[in-house]
């Protein structure tokens, strides 16, 4: 090991240092990966661009940021002690609570000592001779590791539109995904918010409380369901904690990796009156579980029309001005884009100082010194909030120069869309793993569940490699091709694939349109990963040891031996189009 040039004020760059693994990112994925690898006796270095842990929850500090999965389910499940000791304050956690939880986990498992903060990975190159990855950072680090584990997050590369005149604007321009650490006070200001996705829908009601004037620039309206958020009921929390392992098991067996009651009956079999009652019941539960009202909502357009009409009616019931209400009503598939979950979003448009500008026909023309020009009108603003989303799923990979065997650049390989085997690995890039990579359930499952399953699979894989003395593992192209085809085929049966969403890269100009997450359901996917493992890593080449006589034991982490609940999710159920939220 040698240490050379100064990296930052506080540390020296690491050069020629060897690790078993390098992990890119210290969000929930990177932190748990580090914890697992350490438990296996491996050395690992984590590089993190932020100054602290938490990933998504570190960066997205905008007012009103909140998780759309219930707090008792949006947490790690690997430690029962952790489950028992942590208390959530609200039904749906606000960002500061989730960040505090991430910090607690880092402290409790002593993770920080292996993480280099303030450090962005710039390049990762596979050295074919050494069979190791060389990883470089913007702080001058150049390290080598057997495994390169990308824990870069699915929504972490901000989409900042290149508005003409952006440098002329004299006030501050914020992006919700890069919110400052200092408090931003909009009191008395004229604020322009660009975008009406989830981040906008959460932040607009809070910004409106401070701003003197708020103008929202909307390209496409979104459906949103009230969260009906409330303080955590201590009795409910105690009850969940008494049976936490059982809840975790139920979560793992669900298509989305989190648990709520749903109904598999088709909406089209019900009468209009029955549907109305059912939608009201599920609406009163709030949030994403609203989509569990019927089993065919994301399969049959006619069924979806019924819930979409209900969603639009709810908007019109709330918004006083009919013209504004009309503009806020989407005509898209209900739940085709990620459904938004709000606290008082539509009500905000009834405030006299809040207005909506439709930019669906003509995009924002430019920014001026003191305003935003749209539809030929200049809207004077003191501050701009870009709630314009992310280059989802692959954006963070694009930001790193990743080079595999034969000098193959990952950006080149993925030019027409990401290609992976199981979203875990991609052919030509041995020993590179992707936590919640494209082609895995990732954003369509509860993220922390999806992360844990990937991390456990990778750790088990590494244990297996150690057993048999393999140095590298690499996905085989034909298996990868089959998987990509399967991911695309399954996507086609869902109406989600017809919406212009970030799931398809449709929100950022110039990106290939490919449905990136695996929509076949979390337990089916887990089952597939388990099968690949128990078949000796079928579809992977293990450094020449494949088909050896050795009969190594299977290291499948116990909690993933989840039986697929065939009543609610199975290939047959999907074929019959009776699985809510797939």
Q: Does 449 contact ligand NA7 by CB under 6 A?
A: no
Q: Which residue, 359 or 402, is less far from ligand NA7 as judged by CB?
A: 359
Using the rule CB under 6 A, which residue among 11, 120, 219, 285 binds ligand NA7? 219
Per rule CB under 6 A, count of chain residues that contact ligand NA7? 21
Least distance to ligand NA7, CB of residue 176, Å:
6
The 309-348 site mask, x for binding ligand NA7 (CB under 6 A), equals -----------------------------x----------
Q: Does 75 contact ligand NA7 by CB under 6 A?
A: no
Q: Which residue, 266 or 389, is less far from ligand NA7 as judged by CB?
A: 389
Q: With contact defined as beta carbons under 8 Å apart, do 145 and 155 qualify? A: no
Q: Does 195 contact ligand NA7 by CB under 6 A?
A: yes
- The C-alpha atoms of residue 508 and residue 396 are separated, in whole angstroms, by 14
Span from 36-44, 113-121, 193-201, 298-306 in contact with ligand NA7 (CB under 6 A): 193-201
Q: With contact defined as beta carbons under 8 Å apart, do 153 and 396 qualify? A: yes
Q: Does 176 contact ligand NA7 by CB under 6 A?
A: yes
Q: Does 502 contact ligand NA7 by CB under 6 A?
A: yes
The dihedral of CA 381, 179, 336, 74: what is its sign? negative
In b/e form, how buried is each residue of 462-489, taking b as 16+ CB within 10 angstroms? bbbbeebebebbbbeeebbeebbeebee
Q: Does 384 contact ligand NA7 by CB under 6 A?
A: no
The DSSP-derived string for 462-521 is: HHHHHHHT----EE-HHHHHHHHHHHHHHHHHSGGGGS--GGGTTTSTT------S--S-
Using the rule CB under 6 A, which residue among 507, 530, 545, 557 binds ligand NA7? 507
Return the percent helix, strand and coil in the chain, to nearest 5: 35, 20, 45
- The C-alpha atoms of residue 380 and residue 362 are separated, in whole angstroms, by 18
- The C-alpha atoms of residue 411 and residue 65 are separated, in whole angstroms, by 31
Phi then psi for residue 267, to 5 deg, are: -60, -35
Using the rule CB under 6 A, which residue among 54, 55, 197, 517 binds ligand NA7? 197
Helix (H) or strand (E) segment spanning residue 47: strand 44-47
Burial of 90 (0-12, 13-18, 19+ CB in 10 A): middle
Span from 132-140, 191-199, 291-299, 526-534 in contact with ligand NA7 (CB under 6 A): 191-199
Distances in Å between the Cα of 415 and the Cα atoms of 55, 156, 384, 448, 492 are: 26, 19, 33, 28, 21
Least distance to ligand NA7, CB of residue 506, Å:
7
Span from 82-90, 190-198, 254-262, 304-312 in contact with ligand NA7 (CB under 6 A): 190-198
Q: Does 155 contact ligand NA7 by CB under 6 A?
A: yes
Q: Which residues contact 35 (CB under 8 A, 6 or more apart)?
A: 78, 109, 111
Using the rule CB under 6 A, which residue among 26, 111, 387, 569 binds ligand NA7? 387
Q: Which residue is nearest to ligand NA7, using beta carbons?
A: 197
Q: Which residue, 30 or 335, is less far from ligand NA7 as judged by CB?
A: 335
Q: Does 428 contact ligand NA7 by CB under 6 A?
A: no
Residues that bind ligand NA7 (CB under 6 A): 155, 161, 176, 194-200, 219-220, 338, 359, 363-364, 387-389, 502, 507
């Amino acid at each position: 090991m040698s240490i050379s040039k100064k990296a930052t004020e506080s540390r020296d760059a690491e050069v020629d240092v060897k690790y078993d693994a390098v992990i890119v990112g210290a969000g929930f994925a990177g932190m748990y990966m580090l914890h697992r690898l350490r438990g296996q006796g491996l050395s690992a270095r984590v590089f993190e661009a932020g100054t602290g842990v938490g990933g998504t929850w570190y960066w997205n500090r905008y007012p009103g940021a909140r998780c759309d999965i219930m707090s008792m389910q949006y947490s790690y499940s690997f430690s029962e002690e952790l489950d028992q000791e942590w208390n959530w304050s609200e039904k749906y956690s606000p960002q500061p609570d989730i960040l505090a939880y991430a910090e607690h986990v880092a402290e409790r498992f002593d993770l920080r000592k292996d993480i280099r903060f303030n450090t962005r990975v710039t390049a990762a190159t596979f050295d074919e001779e050494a069979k190791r990855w060389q990883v470089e950072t913007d702080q001058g680090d150049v390290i080598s590791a057997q495994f390169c584990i990308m824990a870069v997050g699915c929504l972490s590369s901000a989409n900042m539109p290149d508005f003409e005149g952006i440098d002329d604007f004299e006030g501050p321009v914020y992006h919700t995904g890069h919110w400052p650490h200092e408090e931003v006070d909009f009191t008395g200001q004229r604020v322009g918010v660009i975008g009406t996705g989830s981040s906008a829908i959460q932040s607009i009601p809070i910004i409106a409380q401070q701003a003197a004037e708020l103008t929202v620039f909307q390209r496409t309206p979104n459906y949103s369901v009230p969260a009906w958020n409330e303080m955590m009921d201590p009795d409910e929390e105690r009850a969940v904690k008494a049976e936490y392992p059982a809840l975790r098991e139920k979560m793992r067996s669900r298509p989305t990796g989190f648990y709520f009651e749903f109904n598999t009956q088709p909406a089209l079999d019900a009468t209009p009156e029955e549907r109305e009652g059912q939608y009201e019941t599920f609406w009163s539960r709030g949030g994403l579980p609203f989509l569990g009202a019927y089993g065919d909502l994301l399969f049959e357009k006619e069924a979806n029309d019924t819930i979409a009409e209900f969603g639009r009616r709810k908007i019109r019931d709330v918004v006083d001005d009919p013209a504004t209400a009309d503009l806020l009503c989407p005509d898209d598939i209900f739940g085709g884009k990620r459904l938004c979950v709000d606290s008082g979003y539509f009500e905000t448009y009834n405030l006299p100082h809040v207005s909506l500008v439709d930019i669906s026909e003509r995009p924002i023309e430019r920014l001026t010194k003191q305003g935003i020009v749209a539809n030929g009108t200049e809207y004077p603003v003191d501050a701009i909030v870009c709630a314009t989303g992310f280059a989802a799923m692959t954006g963070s990979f694009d930001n790193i120069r990743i080079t595999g065997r034969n000098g193959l650049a990952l950006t080149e390989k993925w030019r027409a869309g990401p290609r992976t085997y199981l979203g875990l690995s991609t052919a030509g890039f041995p020993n590179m793993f992707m936590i919640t990579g494209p082609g895995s359930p990732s954003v369509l499952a509860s993220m922390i569940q999806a992360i844990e399953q990937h991390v456990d699979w990778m750790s088990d894989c590494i244990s297996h490699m150690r057993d048999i003395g393999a140095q590298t593992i690499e996905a085989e192209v034909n298996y990868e091709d089959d998987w990509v085809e399967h991911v695309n085929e399954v996507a086609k049966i869902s109406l989600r694939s017809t919406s212009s969403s970030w799931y398809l890269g449709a929100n950022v100009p110039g990106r290939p349109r490919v449905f990136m997450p695996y929509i076949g359901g979390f337990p089916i996917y887990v089952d597939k990963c388990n099968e690949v493992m128990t078949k000796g890593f079928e579809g992977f080449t293990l450094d020449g040891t494949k088909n050896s006589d050795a009969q190594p034991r299977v290291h499948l982490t116990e909690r993933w031996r989840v039986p697929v609940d065939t009543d609610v999710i199975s290939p047959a159920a999907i074929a019959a189009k009776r699985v809510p939220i797939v």
